[in-house]
Structure 1
Amino acid sequence: MTRLFEPTSFVQHSVDTASPSLLDKLGTFTDFKHGNPFVGNPRFSGPAELPRNQHVAVLPYQMFREGSNLDVAATHQIEHIKNKNLKPLSIETEREYASLGKSYNALTDKERIALGKYMETEVITSSQADKIALERLNWFSRRSAGTIWWKAGLVGKADPRISDDIGLITIGDILRFGNEEQAMKLTNEDVEKMFRELKQVSLKNIHDVARVKPLNVKLLDQGRNIVPERPLLFEQRMTDLTNAASENVQQMTPEMKTDMFEALYLVSGYSPKQAQEFSKVALKNLDDKPDELGTLLKGPWKKTMQKLNLWKTPQKSVT
């Protein structure tokens, strides 16, 4: 899946790792028994302590240089994963992600790979729940560098087990909810890219698992979930998108038209299976009516969908 809000690239350098001795590794469990090795170290700026009831074979400071971004980022991640206290990112939790996101986003690509390998081999091991939690933590950490335009009400009602909350945030990002301008100004390239991304996020979650049920996009159209509060923002942005598409729909490839129709059905509350079936029928019905296709996409998005829903089964012109 294409990831939005990737942090700015940093100059690549060697991974900042330590070389723990066998004695260091054997002393790990003693470290846990006698307390946190970070306490009292003025250079360490991570969480106050690691969970003592969980064994981590190699502690972050033994794998990475003590006090480095890798050391701090790994310690933060272990604390959240093992204590199972991860809250979704929102305007209410933005401050909680400040230090976590800062240390994670300061890492180079090589350092992130090293961090990921460490977490997978020394912390997560075979726990699928912890693996999902880590993927969510990494996503929220990356995303914390961007504009936070949503409240806890948006993510609080979504299913975190399949990261529906992240799906809703991604749809809002695609539709530029972080931009407070009244209307989107879109090029043909913008339109096609946005439809492809809307389809992609509606079909699979960040764990690369296919969705069976549709995302609850109605939460995006509730002004109280948006910062600043803007009622019907989702409807307005979809109207901008479909109106822009109407100007270029005749030049779209058949594949692009399929992506567009599937995306329209998906963000209207239909399941992936329904969206695929309905878009095929609708496109077949409109195949020999090019003028009607352009007209269909003009005007308010909800009216477009009312008309489009009439094309789900074979019938005569409805315009």
Structure 2
Amino acid sequence: MGLRRYAGNLALLVPPFGWLTVFYLGSLFILLLSAFWQVDSMTGEIVHDWTLDNFRVLFSDVTYRIVAQRTIGIAVLVTLTDIVLAWPLAWVIARKVGPRLKLLLLVLVALPLWSSMLARIYAWRLILGHDGVLNWFLHEAGLPGQSIAFTNVALWLVFSYLWLPFMVMPLIAALERIPASLLDAAGDMGATPSQVLRTVILPLAVPGMAAGSIFTFAVTLGDYVTPMLVGGAGSDFVGNVVYSNVGVSGNVPFAAAFSLLLLVVVAGYMLVARRFGAFDGT
């Protein structure tokens, strides 16, 4: 009986793990290999000779360093912004409303995810454009117009909007897990609301923030469509460099080397997030 159960479990696990190994881990392995190859300048063919030239160019060229710093910096800024924006909404949904209103608010949080990402990005272009909704509102209010369209500021705003639901959901789950009795006990012991927030709620909500930050940080880091549509001349992300090297110049090895940088950064971030309990059931 035990052998049959083991064989049944193995039969269930082999297809998904086989798919993961062949198509995901296999492709990552090929990506790793191709990062050490190079392109023949005369023929444009990929030469399968081991070299570190791609990484030397990557770390010596100031342009690529600026692109990497911009990508990581905006990803961090978007993550911090979404944490700040998510807290009030997550707290109200998790602790302050009844079941019906809670369901309605959850649907409203998830509603943008049901529409096309391109539609949401173009909606922001209409808002932030020179003749857009924001400038119209500022003009009606007697305030000077803005010129943040196609800048890194616009990129930060759009990214923060796009990925906010990915921060709200894990934070709600973390706040729901805090026992009400624990908060009552802290109040009975004389703790002020700010002390309860600082010493009880925040530490217990850290795993939810860490879990949400993985989504906001990683998806911002790897995006290249939003910088193309919303950013300006100085808003290229790593993904845009990878896209141009693959689709325009055909330099797949260099694109693979730059892609590995993103993988290393995301892997390091996930290790840090794990230390804060991001994978502890949130």
Q: Which has the higher contact order (CA 8 A, sep 6+)?
A: 2
Instruction: Answer whether TM exceeds 0.5 for this pair.
Output: no
Q: Which has the higher helix share?
A: 2
Query: What TM-score comes out, normalization by structure 2 length?
Result: 0.24
